[in-house]
Amino acid sequence: MPAALVVRAAEGGDLTWVLLAANGRPLARSAAAFRTDEALAAAWRELVADRAALNIRLGRDGTGPDWWWTATLPARSVGAGVGTATAGVVVARSARGYLRPDQCRGGASGFISALSGFARRVGERGASRATAGTRRGK
């Protein structure tokens, strides 16, 4: 179960999140920065609620030997009908690189498990509680 969802200020005052494990080690970070607390909370709620639809991809970034994972949610296309999805949107990334692909896969599995644990912890009690357990960081 994750210990916390830490919200951090990024360049230009935008906000990002980092999901920490119970031992304080970063599991994942947001792929995007958000202009407001409300936008970050809405994106987090969507990620937790739609975690079963996540597509995890492993790869290397080309600058080193490390393996990284990215988590993608289907993008909803406006006006294309209810439930219609287009190309995916990257919503989260591994917080660190891994030496081997099996370690990377394990890190991604830990992220999915942590999302489920976070969902159980807040009980998916609606929008006002979806970011319960968050804290602000630098």
> 0.85 exceeded by the pTM?
no
8 Å CB contact between 31 and 93: yes
DSSP string, 36-96: SHHHHHHHHHHHHHTGGG-EEEEEE-SSSS-EEEEEEEEEEPTTS-TT-EEEEEEEEEESS
Per-residue pLDDT of the chain (138 residues; tens, 9 = 90+): 455 778 878 777 889 999 988 888 899 999 999 999 899 989 998 999 899 999 999 999 888 899 999 999 987 644 444 554 456 899 999 999 999 999 999 999 999 998 988 777 766 454 334 444 445 554
8 Å CB contact between 105 and 37: no
